[in-house]
Amino acid sequence: MQSIVNRRAQFSASHRYWLPELSEAENIEKFGACFRFPGHGHNYILFVSLSGELDEYGMVLNLSDVKQVIKQEITNQLDFSYLNDIWPEFQQTLPTTENIAKVIFERLAPHLPLIRVQLFENSELFADYTGNGMEAYLTLSTHFSAAHRLANPRLSSEENFQIYGKCARPNGHGHNYHLEVTVIGEIDSRTGMIVDLGALNQVIEDYIIEPFDHTFLNKDVPYFAEVVPTAENIALYISNLVRSPIQELGAKLYKVKLIESPNNSCEIYCTEPESDLLATREKQSVLTRL
């Protein structure tokens, strides 16, 4: 039986976004504060996902062996390094989060049955790479606070309470929503980016945070005057809002994940199922855990 196991590792490193063929003004325009000399650092968190048949000992691989491979090939080399200089791959293509994930995958692939590398630059930015050429996934995390009431305006109070329980109380209730927006695209062979990060941040700010934060969704967002603002409907609406603006940036919206509370979250996938390799693997992982 196929199973997926995940191994966590970490390293601290610095990097700088700049291209020598551009002027200082052009570098600042393209990379913003990330252009500053001599660079900046992160505490990177790495997750390596492996797939295989269970052996007679109930393991896909001995995780002690996996740990040693990751240390030898990745973390011992990258920890406390300046990424732009440490590996030749980063001489041609900048060490962005998505490109680092890609290069790590390629360096581990000869040694491990990889299906995915996930790399967190910080708690609000991470990338996934699954070995599919130059294609990668980039996720931005953010949050907003809002109130809502779960009640269908076409139903009576009694019917709404029967369906939504306490969430149908007339004065509503609030949440600190955690939002993840994941885009998919090709890694640029020079900049290492699949999308302009500043521009993507601005889309999320303009289309989601500004109109949603500190609102009563049923009353302040016209769409929810007639549509019940469940986590599912909110996530679906957000995906419809940002799909076109993200496409205009040269990437595609892949997934919107909305966490309403520690007990309740929703994911909306925005790609065609047949090409959705990452979603397939995520589903496999969930099924394995079940």
Provide mean pLDDT across the span 172-176. 97
Q: Where does the pLDDT of residue 2 fall: very low under 50, low under 70, confident under 90, or very high at 90 and above? A: confident
Q: Where does the pLDDT of residue 57 fall: very low under 50, low under 70, confident under 90, or very high at 90 and above? A: confident
Q: How many domains does the chain have?
A: 2
Opening angle at CA 84, ends 81 and 90, nearest 5: 120
Task: Give tens-digit pLDDT for 59-80.
Answer: 988 999 999 999 999 999 999 9
- Please indicate, yes or no, whether residues 39 and 90 belong to a single structural domain of this protein: yes
- Please indicate, yes or no, whether residues 245 and 287 belong to a single structural domain of this protein: yes
- Please indicate, yes or no, whether residues 37 and 155 belong to a single structural domain of this protein: no
Question: What is d(CA 200, CA 195) in angstroms, rounded to the nearest whole number?
Answer: 7
Q: What are the structure tokens assigned to 269, written together?
A: 């996938």
Q: Which of 84, 109, 125 is the last residue of a domain?
A: 125
- Please indicate, yes or no, whether residues 167 and 148 belong to a single structural domain of this protein: yes
Residue with tokens 């929810």: 224
Q: Where does the pLDDT of residue 276 fall: very low under 50, low under 70, confident under 90, or very high at 90 and above? A: low
Q: Which of 103, 125, 147 is the last residue of a domain?
A: 125
pLDDT of the residue at 140 = 98
pLDDT of the residue at 271 = 76
Average pLDDT of the chain is 93
pLDDT of the residue at 243 = 97
pLDDT of the residue at 283 = 44
Q: What are the structure tokens assigned to 212, written together?
A: 């949603």
Give the three-class secondary structure for 186: strand
Q: Which helix (H) or strand (E) holds 287?
A: helix 277-289
pLDDT of the residue at 144 = 98
Longest pairwise C-alpha distance within the chain: 68
Please say if the pLDDT value at position 28 is more than 60. yes
- Please indicate, yes or no, whether residues 276 and 143 belong to a single structural domain of this protein: yes
Q: Where does the pLDDT of residue 223 fall: very low under 50, low under 70, confident under 90, or very high at 90 and above? A: very high
pLDDT of the residue at 289 = 29
Question: CB of 214 within 8 A of CB of 48?
Answer: no
Torsion angle in degrees (nearest 10) through CA of 279, 281, 90, 20 = -10
Please say if the pLDDT value at position 46 is more than 60. yes
- Please indicate, yes or no, whether residues 31 and 56 belong to a single structural domain of this protein: yes
260: domain CATH number?
Answer: 3.30.479.10
Question: CB of 46 within 8 A of CB of 6?
Answer: no
Please say if the pLDDT value at position 91 is more than 90. yes
- Please indicate, yes or no, whether residues 86 and 176 belong to a single structural domain of this protein: no
Give the ranges where 19-115 is alpha helix by DSSP (H).
24-31, 63-70, 76-78, 83-86, 89-92, 97-108
More confident residue, 287 or 191: 191
- Please indicate, yes or no, whether residues 139 and 42 belong to a single structural domain of this protein: no
Please say if the pLDDT value at position 288 is more than 70. no
pLDDT of the residue at 274 = 43
Provide mean pLDDT across the span 234-254. 98
- Please indicate, yes or no, whether residues 228 and 206 belong to a single structural domain of this protein: yes
Q: Where does the pLDDT of residue 290 fall: very low under 50, low under 70, confident under 90, or very high at 90 and above? A: very low
- Nearby residues of 283 by Cβ (< 8 Å), 6 or more positions away: none
- Please indicate, yes or no, whether residues 144 and 283 belong to a single structural domain of this protein: yes
Question: What is d(CA 173, CA 132) in angstroms, rounded to the nearest whole number?
Answer: 43
Residue ranges making up the domain that contains 214: 132-290
Question: What is d(CA 116, CA 47) in angstroms, rounded to the nearest whole number?
Answer: 8
- Nearby residues of 195 by Cβ (< 8 Å), 6 or more positions away: 138, 183, 185, 246, 249, 250, 251
Residue with tokens 């892949």: 254
- Residues assigned a catalytic role: 167, 214, 260
pLDDT over 70 percentage in the chain: 93
Q: Which of 107, 125, 143 is the last residue of a domain?
A: 125
pLDDT of the residue at 278 = 60
- Please indicate, yes or no, whether residues 120 and 137 belong to a single structural domain of this protein: no
- Please indicate, yes or no, whether residues 196 and 66 belong to a single structural domain of this protein: no
Give the three-class secondary structure for 209: helix
Question: What is d(CA 85, CA 103) in angstroms, rounded to the nearest whole number?
Answer: 14
pLDDT of the residue at 56 = 86
